[in-house]
Structure 1
Amino acid sequence: MKDAFGSPQSLLVLGGTSEIGMATARRLIARRTRTVWLAGRPSPGLDDAAADLRRLGADVRTVAFDALDCAAHQEVLGKVFAEGDIDMVLLAFGVLGDQANDEADPPAAVRVAQTNYTGAVSAGLVCAGALQNQGHGSLVVLSSVAGERARRVNFIYGSSKAGLDAFAQGLGDALYGTGVHVMVVRPGFVVTKMTAGLPQAPLATTPEAVAVAVEQGLRRRSEVVWVPGTLRVVMSALRHVPRPLFRRLPL
């Protein structure tokens, strides 16, 4: 259960090597989170992530999880919830893909869509059902401003995030009043290994800044969080730019 200050005492990170996931886990451990599950593909990186969090004093466990293996999600995640209540699930997995390559390689584009959307729908529904059964908890879904309006440079990734965002909002409505809180987080360009080498966009942010926003959003029981907050206004304006003009913008 969450403590008297509203901080989760147990956390499940789907995408256990995610830099945003790790930054969020570190911040929550500093605020009283004591049990952390890192779900991801078995790898030295996952083991290192677990060791890093253990050094902060948390009880950290890893679980083999593949976003693309939807048939196994119920069993794999069910075992985590069978070990005890989970106060917060952070859905943090996703791939950026390579737009130029993926346009010419449809199977590669499908893999981006399946990871970011289909896999997230499957895992999100499994976790939502488990949270509802225990009667409490938060499901935090990492979306992206890229899903707000498709851009030429990354419309495959953006469309997958648009689908995820709509799914998470609808799921939040479906779970309203059940004791389960769903929060959608929409970061802009986040400086991580995944975006290394890409031109840095205006209003770029960091995993640590996203982690701060997640914690604040949990305390406020927000339904949507923008990182940085200025993007709420920026994207509201961009959504209404006429398409012929939008095509000419250096985005």
Structure 2
Amino acid sequence: MKDAFGTPQSLLVLGGTSEIGLATARRLIARRTRTVWLAGRPSPALETAAAGLRALGAEVRTVAFDALDPVAHEEKLGKVFAEGDIDMVLLAFGVLGDQAHDEEQPLSAVRIAQTNYTGAVSAGLVCAKALQEQGHGSLVVLSSVAGERARRANFIYGSSKAGLDAFAQGLGDALHGTGVHVMVVRPGFVRSKMTTGLPEAPLATTPEAVAAAIETGLRRRSETVWVPGTMRFVMSALRHVPRPLFRRLPV
């Protein structure tokens, strides 16, 4: 259960090597989180991430999880929930892809869609059901401002995040009143391994800043969190730009 300050005592990170996921775990461990599950493909990177969190004083376990294997999601994630209640699930996996390459290789584009959307729908529903059965908990879904309006530069990634965002909002409505809180997080450009080598966009942020926004959102029981907060107004403006003009913008 969450403590008196609203901090989850147990955390499941789907995407156990995600920089945002690990930054969030570190921030919550520094508060009161004591049990962390890192779900991801078995790898030295996953074990290194777990060791780093253990060094902060948390009990950390890893679980084999692959977004592209939805058939196994119920079994793999069910074992986590069978160990005890989970106060917070952070859905943090996703791939950016390479727009130019993916347009030429449709199977690569499909893999992005399957990871970012299909895999997230499967894992999200499995976790939502488990949270509902235990009667409490938060499901935090990492979306993106890229999902607000498809742009020429990354419409494959953006469309997958648009689908995820809509799914998470609908899931939140479906779970309203059950004791389960769903929060959608929409970061802008995040300085991370995923974006290494890409031109930095305005209002760029960091995994640590996203983690801080997640913590604040949990405390406030927010339904939507923008990072940085000014992205809410930027994207609202872009959403209403006429399409012929939007095509000419350097976005």
TM-score normalised to the size of structure 1?
A: 1.00
**SS of equivalent residue, structure 1 residue 140:** strand
Give 1:160's aligned amino acid. Answer: S
1:145-190 Cα shifts (integer Å, max 9, x gaps)? 0000000000000000000000000000000000000000000000
In the TM superposition, 1:1-251 aligns within 5 A as 1-251=1-251
Shift of 1:226: 0.0
Give 2:183's aligned amino acid. Answer: M
Give 2:109's aligned amino acid. Answer: A
Give 1:64's aligned amino acid. Answer: A
Distance 1:101 1:238 in 2: 26
Distance 1:207 1:38 in 2: 17
- Structure 2 unaligned runs (5+)? none
TM-score normalised to the size of structure 2?
A: 1.00
Give 1:54's aligned amino acid. Answer: R
Give 2:34's aligned amino acid. Answer: R
Distance 1:84 1:188 in 2: 34
Give 1:122's aligned amino acid. Answer: S
Distance 1:130 1:156 in 2: 31
1:28-85 Cα shifts (integer Å, max 9, x gaps)? 0001000000000000000000000000000000000000000000000000000000
1:195-219 Cα shifts (integer Å, max 9, x gaps)? 0000000000000000000000000
User: Quick one: percent identity of the two aligned structures?
Assistant: 87
Give 1:233's aligned amino acid. Answer: F
Pairwise CA RMSD of aligned residues?
Answer: 0.2
Distance 2:30 2:224 in 1: 24
Distance 1:44 1:100 in 2: 31
Distance 2:5 2:107 in 1: 46
Give 2:78's aligned amino acid. Answer: G
Give 2:236's aligned amino acid. Answer: S
**SS of equivalent residue, structure 1 residue 120:** helix
Give 2:189's aligned amino acid. Answer: F
Shift of 1:114: 0.2
Distance 2:97 2:42 in 1: 21
Distance 1:80 1:171 in 2: 21
- Structure 1 runs (4+) deviating above 2 angstroms are none
Give 1:206's aligned amino acid. Answer: T
Distance 1:8 1:31 in 2: 9
Distance 1:97 1:121 in 2: 19
- Structure 1 unaligned runs (5+)? none
Distance 2:196 2:97 in 1: 13
Distance 1:37 1:95 in 2: 21
Distance 1:147 1:28 in 2: 27
Distance 1:98 1:113 in 2: 13
Distance 2:140 2:193 in 1: 22
Distance 2:31 2:149 in 1: 35
Distance 1:80 1:2 in 2: 18
Shift of 1:2: 0.1
